[in-house]
Structure 1
Amino acid sequence: MRRTTFLRVRPLAVVAFAAMTAAGSAGAADLFGGGATFPVQSYVGDNFLTTVPVRARLSRNTTNAVTTSPIATLSPPDTLFARFSSGTGNKISYCQTGSGTGKTVLIGVGSVINANGECGTYQTGTSPAGFSGTAAAPNYIGTDSPISQADVTSFNGGPRAARELWQVPTLAGAIALPNHSALGFTNLTTEQVCRIFSARITNWSGIPGSGSTAPINIVYRAEGSGTSFAFTSYLAAACNGKFTIPAGYFKPNQSFAAAVPAVPGQPGSAAPLYAASTPINGNPGVVTSVIGTASAIGYADYPEVDAQGAEFPTVNSASPAALPASISIPAPLSGQVLNASNTPVAVTGMTNPACLRLINPTTIPAGVTYPILAYTYMGGYRNTNGTSTTPLRQLLGYFLASQTNRPAPPAGFAYLDGDANYRLSVQNTINTCVL
């Protein structure tokens, strides 16, 4: 399917929340953050695609930068972060590291733990060492793989435990399935998606209309990724125990390699019995790789697929581009996290558990027909935000209908605030958990 322009639904009418204003802040601040690549088109746009050298991970308009890596600047008024900056007078940066690294920087435990490490660039192929921030602790992070009980336990044993944590959902987005342009199919059924990614079909001759007899090359995220978590959650729900696929075959995980069965005799291998597979860092990298790899298919957020002009199928004849600008879901769960089985459970070890808000990954928004969705989040510290408190509250406010200056989301993304109970619960979390 080629890129299609869809009419966007107008944002909801303004709802009066006293704490959320578009006025400039009395003391402007620079906010440093990073993490998930899934929401980057909504947060900072696609300017990073055209910087020289191309593929910059870092987008910012901060004035006290510490990095030497290429930078993509924010472009008002098209993106949410640019609207926030122009509307409040605050500066902001975002480094695309993937959700896994975003969470290790927040928690302070893992292979990458400090925000003041170099963000780097996709051009070099090296992994990011941080967010190119000015301090070890970030102001905020983005993640599509919500905070788990294991994350909370690690945080409590780490160097930043006294700060406590908050997490709120921000957007829903469609995960598209980019494919190489030489392939001719325009639609896949749930069964076909399941059989491709479970290696029940390993050659394009098994997909009517593909126009190819080449082996299927699966392009997937190499690093810990919230996009992988959401996609493997979909595969587990839609495929396990069906279409000759065993129950429990897919195990939702931010690591795609951990979510699918290993190759026999190769414990820890990165894929099942695919004819070919290619691990790539970042959603932008996945799409670029698919475009340049014959017989390839992968998964990434729809706006990234659209920005790079990649081909993609509808799924069950529904397009990932057709999400409305705002959708209705119930108020997020309070004080709950995902356990080892990715089931929501009451969090333990938190002084203020209600500051963690979670959407059950199985939630299906009313009226949405495209089946592969992800929910993305922001997280940060409840305490010691200092002069960043007001800017952080304002930033989170841009995801609510009370913010008259928020932009319409890119096609394939939706705000979550179509329900009044949802708006009130998130607003209360912002007011009481960002201090």
Structure 2
Amino acid sequence: MNKYKTLAALVATALLATAGAASAQTAVTGGGASLPADLYKGQTDSILPANFSYAVTGSGTGKKAFLENNSALFSTTGTVHFAGSDSVLSGTELSTYNSTYNVSTDANRYGALVQIPSVATSVTIPFNKAGSAVDLSVAQICGIFSGKVTNWNQLAGLGRTGAIQVVYRGESSGTSELLTRFLTTACQPADVSGTNLKLTGGVPAFSVQSTFANLFTSVPSNFIAAPATGGTSLYNAVYAVDGRVGYVGPDVIPSLVDATKVAKVKGFSPDEVSVQATLETAAPPTGAAAENPANWVPVFG
């Protein structure tokens, strides 16, 4: 089995790329991100035909399986045809793909890697602390996820006390990358001063990471990795112990507007209304700019 000649496929930051004459294939192998997995796994509203398989491994493993054509990472054999990821392809990854699988002198080359937007999503902040609705400021979010804020009483106006424990994704995760892109864009030096975040320009700062623990020189003592891959594992871990906070996609949240369990941010719930309104602030690239995959990945600070 060969990858489709001329077109190969990869999903990156809410991007789905599939390729060629899919209906002509008896089996099409893919996998990756857990956040949009329900769209790809054959449910009644799946956007993929029945002959497509999708293994939930996390974004990082999905990209690796595709870029290295390593189907063992999806617990199967044969060719990896596509991957789903919320993690952005780097220039190095694109260059490596082209030099390995898209050399013009190779008659058996797979062709250009194609990325197509398929999903728009929020990243939610579930928490386990009884009380009234929680509406966080950006500075408060920065403090929680940097390790600067370690007790609920440090969050003014919430009327809660007790230790905060942050649950994070241990594997390479597109959801982690989406969150850290926001934090990198939005957080100010004062929000994270005195933390274990790695230094940028000599001061602690967030950076874009698909592996959350890579943010730190040493992970803060009040942080704990989710016990298994995927958003469901993290969500369950948050609600297993009082005082915990985490981050997941909206796919595992029963009610996105229940602010006693999922935080609002600056007054907004992480529901489809907010996602749509946010998307409408960014125009898609056109002309030559549309040929750069990075231009299909806007960052909303």
Aligned to 2:222: 275
Q: Among 143, 164, 168, which residue is 2:85 paired with? A: 143
In structure 1, the gaps of 5 or more residues are 1-23, 45-58, 60-73, 118-129, 264-270, 337-352, 365-370, 372-435
Aligned to 1:340: none
Q: Among 199, 209, 213, which residue is 2:147 paired with? A: 199
User: 1:240 offset after TM fit, Å?
Assistant: 3.3
Residue pair 1:290, 1:297 contacting (<8 A) in 2 also: yes
Residue pair 2:138, 2:186 contacting (<8 A) in 1 also: yes
Alignment of 1:106-255 (within 5 A): 106-108=66-68, 114-115=70-71, 117=72, 130-135=73-78, 137-156=79-98, 158=100, 162-163=109-110, 164-180=112-128, 182=130, 184-208=132-156, 212-243=160-191, 245=193, 249-255=205-211
Alignment of 1:277-426 (within 5 A): 277-280=224-227, 281-306=229-254, 311-321=261-271, 322-323=273-274, 327-328=279-280, 329-332=282-285, 354=291, 356=293, 358-362=295-299, 364=300
Distance 1:175 1:36 in 2: 14
Confirm whether residue 35 of structure 1 aligns to residue 1 of structure 2.
no
Aligned to 2:17: none
Give the TM-score normalised by the residue count of structure 1: 0.53
Distance 1:211 1:283 in 2: 28
Q: What SS does the aligned partner of 2:168 have?
A: strand
Percent identity over the alignment is 25
Q: Among 213, 216, 219, which residue is 1:261 paired with? A: 216
For residues 56-86 of structure 1, what are the alpha-carbon distances to aligned partners after superposition, in whole Å with 9 as ceiling and x for unaligned? xxx4xxxxxxxxxxxxxx332xx233xx43x
Q: Which AA in structure 2 matches 1:256?
A: F
Aligned to 2:10: none
Q: What SS does the aligned partner of 1:171 have?
A: coil
Residue pair 1:35, 1:97 contacting (<8 A) in 2 also: yes
Q: What SS does the aligned partner of 2:64 have?
A: helix
User: 1:25 offset after TM fit, Å?
Assistant: 8.2
User: 1:356 offset after TM fit, Å?
Assistant: 4.1
Residue pair 1:332, 1:357 contacting (<8 A) in 2 also: no
Residue pair 1:202, 1:274 contacting (<8 A) in 2 also: no
For residues 10-31 of structure 1, what are the alpha-carbon distances to aligned partners after superposition, in whole Å with 9 as ceiling and x for unaligned? xxxxxxxxxxxxxx98746432
Q: What's the Cα RMSD here?
A: 3.3
Flag the structure with higher strand content: 1
Distance 1:133 1:357 in 2: 30
Q: Among 70, 87, 97, which residue is 2:57 paired with? A: 97
Structure 1 residues 183, 200: CA separation in 2 closer, same or farther (over 3 Å shift)?
A: farther
Higher relative contact order (CA 8 A, sep 6+): 1
User: 1:183 offset after TM fit, Å?
Assistant: 5.8
Residue pair 2:268, 2:274 contacting (<8 A) in 1 also: no
Distance 1:26 1:96 in 2: 23
Distance 2:240 2:207 in 1: 29
Q: Which AA in structure 1 matches 2:181?
A: S
Flag the structure with higher helix content: 2
User: 1:153 offset after TM fit, Å?
Assistant: 3.8
Aligned to 1:382: none
Q: Which AA in structure 1 matches 2:216?
A: P
Residue pair 2:167, 2:225 contacting (<8 A) in 1 also: yes
